[in-house]
């Protein structure tokens, strides 16, 4: 048994009643460069203690109106094969309530297809932020490698919109060119204002079931130094906020789930803080889009003393 984790030190609502459901997934088997992402879920959640309840951009306190549950981590004790572990993760998340906001906190990026399979069984769109294309068919002997999730998502029948990409091999480029279900926004191209506007236009025209996957290495390493496979270039904070603002400005997006993956805790704790705050922003934007701000103040924050 692991000690119960919390978000913003709020009490955990029952799983079946919570508006927001966070699943820590300390999974790390195929990391190829800088290890440590298995420690990320706990480090991120502990860092949320340092965040304010008040959301300064949107001007509300999300948890006055919303309840949250951080569930028991979905751990990996090494007893299952890779394939069996991924299958059990899919089974686990497919049984969770469907109408709330689900956030999987990784852990390595290989867990994304298993979450998507459980949350979005029909064909939809995966909005995929990453420095790397993650489009290899297999890597270092494993088709479940963190270098391969986009291949698995295509096999599940989804469209992929990927952005921030600045590291890919030639065969991945060929696959993008041959696959009309992938919209690729290279980080290099997004530097142009016209290209950035075109990207935001794509975000605001997304329709149908949607899943959001954020690999923290999409950020510039100056903003988030703690990732498994850092790359120069990348997003800064307000670019990501602008993307989220655009995504959630259309009230009724059919968001099936979110994951935030590949962060590696580091001594400055800047990366933990950026990830914790990103998680709060996603929750706030989703809550506001779903008009929780108009609902009675019966959220998790009402059960605690604060300030």
Q: Which of 28, 130, 172, 259 binds Mn ion (CB under 5 A)?
A: 130
Which of residues 109 and 277 has its CB atom nearest to Mn ion in the complex? 109
Q: Order of strands, edge to edge, in the sheet holding 20-25?
A: 68-70, 20-25, 101-106, 254-261, 209-215, 125-129, 159-165, 182-186
In whole angstroms, the minimum distance from the beta carbon of 51 to Mn ion comes to: 25
Q: Which of 108, 134, 187, 259 binds Mn ion (CB under 5 A)?
A: 134
In whole angstroms, the minimum distance from the beta carbon of 145 to Mn ion comes to: 10
Q: Give the C-alpha separation, 50 to 75, whole Å.
A: 25
Q: Give the C-alpha separation, 196 to 202, whole Å.
A: 10
Which of residues 76 and 215 has its CB atom nearest to Mn ion in the complex? 215
Which of residues 100 and 125 has its CB atom nearest to Mn ion in the complex? 125
Applying CB under 5 A, does 172 fall inside the site for Mn ion?
Answer: no
In angstroms, the Cα distances linking 10 to 26, 45, 59, 183, 222 are 21, 11, 20, 39, 30
In whole angstroms, the minimum distance from the beta carbon of 216 to Mn ion comes to: 9
In whole angstroms, the minimum distance from the beta carbon of 129 to Mn ion comes to: 9
In whole angstroms, the minimum distance from the beta carbon of 61 to Mn ion comes to: 33
In whole angstroms, the minimum distance from the beta carbon of 52 to Mn ion comes to: 30
Sign of torsion over alpha carbons 194, 196, 200, 202: positive
Interaction residues for Mn ion, span 265-304 (CB under 5 A): none
Question: How many positions of this chain bind Mn ion (CB under 5 A)?
Answer: 4
Confirm if 146 and 217 have CB atoms less than 8 A apart.
no
Which of residues 73 and 149 has its CB atom nearest to Mn ion in the complex? 149
Residue reference for tokens 């999300």: 62
Interaction residues for Mn ion, span 83-122 (CB under 5 A): 109
Q: Give the C-alpha separation, 175 to 182, whole Å.
A: 9
Interaction residues for Mn ion, span 183-242 (CB under 5 A): 215
Q: CA 184, 189, 193: angle at the middle one, nearest 5?
A: 120
List, in sequence order, the alpha helices (H) in 220-269. Answer: 237-249
Q: Give the C-alpha separation, 190 to 235, whole Å.
A: 9
Stretch that binds Mn ion, among 40-48, 68-76, 100-108, 126-134 (CB under 5 A): 126-134
* Chain contacts with Mn ion (rule: CB under 5 A): 109, 130, 134, 215
């Amino acid at each position: 048994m692991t000690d119960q984790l919390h978000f913003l030190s709020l009490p955990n609502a029952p799983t079946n009643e919570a508006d927001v459901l966070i699943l820590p997934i300390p999974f790390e088997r195929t990391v190829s460069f800088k290890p440590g992402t298995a420690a990320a879920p706990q480090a991120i959640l502990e860092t949320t203690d340092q965040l304010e309840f008040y959301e300064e951009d949107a001007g509300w306190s999300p948890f006055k109106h919303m309840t949250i549950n951080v569930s028991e981590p979905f751990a990996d004790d090494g007893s299952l094969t890779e394939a069996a572990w991924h299958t059990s993760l899919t089974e686990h998340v497919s049984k969770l309530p469907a109408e709330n906001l689900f956030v999987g906190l990784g852990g390595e990026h290989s867990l994304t297809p298993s979450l998507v399979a459980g949350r979005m069984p029909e064909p939809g769109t995966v909005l995929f932020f990453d420095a790397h294309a993650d489009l290899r068919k297999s890597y270092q002997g494993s088709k479940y490698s963190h270098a391969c999730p986009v291949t698995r998502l295509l096999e599940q029948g989804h469209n992929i919109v990927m952005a921030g990409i600045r590291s890919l091999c030639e065969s991945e480029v060929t696959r993008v060119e041959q696959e009309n279900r992938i919209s690729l926004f290279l980080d290099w191209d997004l530097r142009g204002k016209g290209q950035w506007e075109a990207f935001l236009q794509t975000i605001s025209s997304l329709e149908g079931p949607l899943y959001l996957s954020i690999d923290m290495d999409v950020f510039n390493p100056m903003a988030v130094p703690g990732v498994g496979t850092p790359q120069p270039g990348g997003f800064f904070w307000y670019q990501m906020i602008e993307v989220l603002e655009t995504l959630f400005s259309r009230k009724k997006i059919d968001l099936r789930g979110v994951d935030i993956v590949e962060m590696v805790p580091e001594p400055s704790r800047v990366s933990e803080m950026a990830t914790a705050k990103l998680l709060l922003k996603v929750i706030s934007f989703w809550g506001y889009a779903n008009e929780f701000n108009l609902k009675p103040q019966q959220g998790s924050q009402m059960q605690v003393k604060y300030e």
